[in-house]
Chains A and B, each alone.
Chain A
Amino acid sequence: MSATTSTLAVDKSFSATTTNIPLSTYTTEQQKLLLSLRDYCFSYEAFLDEPETKQALLQFMKIIHCEESIMFLDQVNEYYRKRSAANKWNALQQIFITFFSGNSVHELNLPQRSREVMEQSFMDLNDKITLKTPTNSSNASNSTLQQVNIDSSDLQECEEALKKAESYILVNMKEHVFPMFLESDTFKQFVCKKSKQFLNQIGTVRNLSHSCFVESLMDMKSCEITVDQIKMIKQHVLEEKFWDCIYSKDTCFAFLSSNKYILGEEESKKGIYFAKSQVIFPYTVEQMMNIMTNTTIRLASDKNLDSIKIVGYLNKSGGDLLSSPPKKYKSSESLSSLNHSPPASPHSTHSNHSASSDSLLSLNKLSGKTRLATVLTHEVYKLVWPVKNRYYVLAQSMVYDTTDKLYIVAKKSCEPPNYKLSEKDAIKALDIGAWIFMPVMVDGKEHCKYIELIGTDLRGSLPNFIVHKIVKTRAKNFFRETMKVIKQTKCDMYTRPANSSGYFETLDENGSIAL
């Protein structure tokens, strides 16, 4: 066996359809891009429309020896571009010889019937043309050069047969070749040199995927929080693979995100690490929610938090921006029922709500795009001199998740329209965050697992090691300090706070959703 045999060009220990090239041979940037490919849903049609992807597909199909299919599609396109019937006839003859003739190396793999229909109509047309065209005995062989006597209606049957074959080949490629191509090295080598924008051109980000989440972080302006957004935030918080544990003691954990994320349309594209802490408190979910959402307690216990004010409210699924939560959700009816209810009661409280006819309706038409009741707040944080104060304008929404039986507050920065900022000596910072309350049983008693996501971009330079240290220290002290606050506070842990900065109002309106 000589290594120069032409057929070996392909065979040289090369597997065409399974990946051989290890990820490590790509640059870090390329690796990231390749890993995110799973988050995309690629469109076969877009691949055929885009010249570059089509070229790559052709290259792949040559490697796996089925290039005739894509060559055929090209020639059929050429055929449609021809104007005159005579030119069309010439193109058709070429197509027939190349792709339908049993002796051609490029014969298509077609069901017998489609091939036969084409053969039949082609032969019929051929006969017709031979009869129509006066054969000047001298140049009968030049018939293709001469103007053949033919009009477009003659081509109709052939064209239909051609269309059938074309659609058959299109489907076969989509079913068989396209999925393999997406897995192949040919595609990976092609696509790793491309940008995210290019990916968006040939595919769409899969809903709720990590890439979709990353993309959603670019929007720090919109005041809406949708079901999908909360879903993605929850997934991101709970998915282990996105986090590195940097501290753990007893039931306290602190994590830093394995990747950096860019909030808003930041020009430097440096990105920030997200922080996550997870603690188990020896109180019920309900008690912890009452404490943690209590604005008075928050202001008293968080040394940095200087002020919180509600600057707007959005109703569930539509409506204009309101200046404050609507009255009916501010009523204390729910508070009284909460007073005497068992631990899971906050949930049962609002599931009573959703039994009412209008929310039942909205439950039925709930989709990922459904906008949730959202409260907009303006929060100011004082930092240690000489660091300037920071303020956030946040959209926040709270729901009960029936899938994992947890309460979640999702928060993100926003820019309410017509909102006048009057913050002196403070820098606007961006934030994406979540508070999750979920019940866990410890010695037969309900305790509350509390998970907090902080993805804050202080917009100003803070060295990484400081961020690291802050996160660690905070996690270390968080449990102890919160416990201290709980013990000191005079507030009734069994009562919903009168002022929860709108959280409970959004919960009442949003109710239970399967996230």
Chain B
Amino acid sequence: MGNIVVSPHDKEGQHHMMATPTSNNPNGGSAATAKNKSEITVLLLGAGESGKSTLFKQVQFFHGVGITHDQERIELIEIVRLNVLENAKNLVAATQHLNIPIEQPENRETAKLIINSLNTNDLEDPSWSKRLYSLWKDAGIQKAYENREKFQLYDSTEYLFENLDRICSDKYVPTVVDVIRTRTKTIGITDMKFDVGDGKQLRLVDVGGQRNERRKWIHFFNTVDAVVFLTSLSEFDLNLYEDNGYWRVKESLRVFNEVVNNALFYKVPFVLLFNKRDLFEKKIATKSFSKYFSGFNEAEEKNPVACIEYMTKLFLNEITEHPLDTVSVKTLSAIDHDNSKQVFEEVKQFIMTQQHRE
């Protein structure tokens, strides 16, 4: 998939920064010792719902950890079903909030049950598959769904509703795709380690992205050998989960600025991943991209490459301290297994090569 090569930038000052001796960095030793370490710590950073955990789960999956076994996925039945209920609740709440009535009386009944009493165990009964699907197809709910930028809804909503016949059965075992698609809000940190050859191990650290979670990031900054920063391409029309009046893109840019210019990261390779490319391409087909970016040429707004190039510039403009030749930019569709595998492999190569150069 589209790989954007960052060429030495037009900003003059950059090369100066590169020449700056490490002594400027109060904790400069961290990166310097990295080259001989047997463990390479890679942080996945980014604002909430940028796809850090999805990528993390994919990497686990490539390495045969956790979700590959049926038995382990059985544990996740309830989580998938909780996702279904949460999505259903959010949609029903949205119809009230947006003042769009649910049209069919029997769907209104279903909606009432969802809000008041339905729990995950009920979903073992296949009759719920029909009822929930019928609700999902209700003109009112669909209209609310079309306006989903106005409220908080998971990306996996459509997928889960389309798979209800499997999920609402007492024989249900979540598939790998189901697990990748379910949203759980990461709190604290999650990590995994795997061998990358040369007797080295890569430790991948996943973190929560919401504002309160970001305060915890500092715990790991000292030991970092590389940063992978994720941002969602499809968030251009969305507001924050933790602050509904705040534009997500603005938040992502702010977080990116803080991280990329952090003195602790001067010397570490930095990867910027534009995630959710799949959703993004679907979205710009029906929504105006230029409406949200005054500096963008409206004539180009249906061209994903042009849009992504624009976003890239926007992000790279935030870089004031980090040497640009240790920054790599890529696009990603983390729910796509093959794409994740390929992109993560490239990211790994980039990091290893940078490490080697040290």
Q: What residues of A have a CB within 8 angstroms of the CB of B41 in the complex? A: 11
Q: How far is the CA of A172 from the CA of B213 in the complex (A)?
A: 14
Q: Mark A193-230, 1 if CB is under 8 A from B, else 0.
A: 00000000000000000000000000000000000000
Within 8 A of B (CB), among A21-72: 38, 61, 64-66, 69
- Taking A7-B222, A179-B76 as contacts, is the C-beta distance between A109 and B191 under 8 angstroms? no
- Residue pairs across A and B with CB atoms within 8 Å: the count is 96
Q: Cβ of B244 < 8 Å from any Cβ of A?
A: yes
* Complex contact B187–A7 (CB within 8 A): no
Q: Cβ of A78 < 8 Å from any Cβ of B?
A: no
Chain B's closest residue to A16 (CB) is B191
For A18, give its contact among B29, B184, B191, B218 (CB under 8 Å).
B191
The number of chain B residues with a CB under 8 A from chain A is 43
Within 8 A of A (CB), among B32-47: 33, 39, 41
* Complex contact A7–B218 (CB within 8 A): yes
Q: What residues of B have a CB within 8 angstroms of the CB of A8 in the complex? A: 222-223
Q: Cβ of B210 < 8 Å from any Cβ of A?
A: yes
Q: How far is the CA of A128 from the CA of B327 in the complex (A)?
A: 54
For B189, give its contact among A20, A65, A111 (CB under 8 Å).
A65
Q: What residues of A have a CB within 8 angstroms of the CB of B78 in the complex? A: 174
Interface residues of B (CB under 8 A from A): 27, 29-30, 33, 39, 41, 65-66, 71, 75-76, 78-79, 82, 152, 184-193, 203, 208, 210-213, 215-216, 218-220, 222-223, 240-244
- Taking A109-B210, A175-B82 as contacts, is the C-beta distance between A64 and B190 under 8 angstroms? yes
Chain B's closest residue to A39 (CB) is B71
* Complex contact B240–A107 (CB within 8 A): no
Interface size class of A (residues with CB under 8 A): 35 or more
Q: A11-B220, A176-B184, A179-B75 are in contact. List 16 more A-B contacts (CB 8 A).
A: A5-B222, A8-B222, A11-B223, A16-B189, A17-B189, A38-B71, A61-B188, A64-B189, A65-B188, A66-B187, A66-B216, A109-B210, A112-B240, A175-B79, A175-B184, A176-B185
* Complex contact B244–A113 (CB within 8 A): yes
Shortest beta-carbon distance from A170 to chain B in Å: 11
* Complex contact A171–B243 (CB within 8 A): no
Q: How far is the CA of A10 from the CA of B78 in the complex (A)?
A: 31
For B185, give its contact among A7, A13, A109 (CB under 8 Å).
A109
Chain A's closest residue to B33 (CB) is A1
* Complex contact A179–B79 (CB within 8 A): yes
Q: Cβ of A244 < 8 Å from any Cβ of B?
A: no
Q: What residues of B have a CB within 8 angstroms of the CB of A108 in the complex? A: 212
Q: How far is the CA of A64 from the CA of B222 in the complex (A)?
A: 16
Shortest beta-carbon distance from A296 to chain B in Å: 44
Q: How far is the CA of A109 from the CA of B240 in the complex (A)?
A: 13
Chain A's closest residue to B29 (CB) is A1
Q: How far is the CA of A182 from the CA of B76 in the complex (A)?
A: 12
Chain B's closest residue to A6 (CB) is B219
* Complex contact B33–A177 (CB within 8 A): no
* Complex contact A17–B215 (CB within 8 A): no
Q: Cβ of A462 < 8 Å from any Cβ of B?
A: no
Q: How far is the CA of A337 from the CA of B187 in the complex (A)?
A: 67
Q: Cβ of A183 < 8 Å from any Cβ of B?
A: yes
Closest 3 CB pairs of A and B: A66-B188, A64-B188, A66-B187
Shortest beta-carbon distance from B56 to chain A in Å: 10
- Taking A1-B30, A177-B187, A179-B75 as contacts, is the C-beta distance between A13 and B242 under 8 angstroms? no
* Complex contact A11–B193 (CB within 8 A): no
Q: Cβ of A110 < 8 Å from any Cβ of B?
A: yes
Shortest beta-carbon distance from B51 to chain A in Å: 16
* Complex contact A1–B222 (CB within 8 A): yes
Chain A's closest residue to B210 (CB) is A109
- Taking A1-B29, A110-B242, A112-B242 as contacts, is the C-beta distance between A15 and B188 under 8 angstroms? no
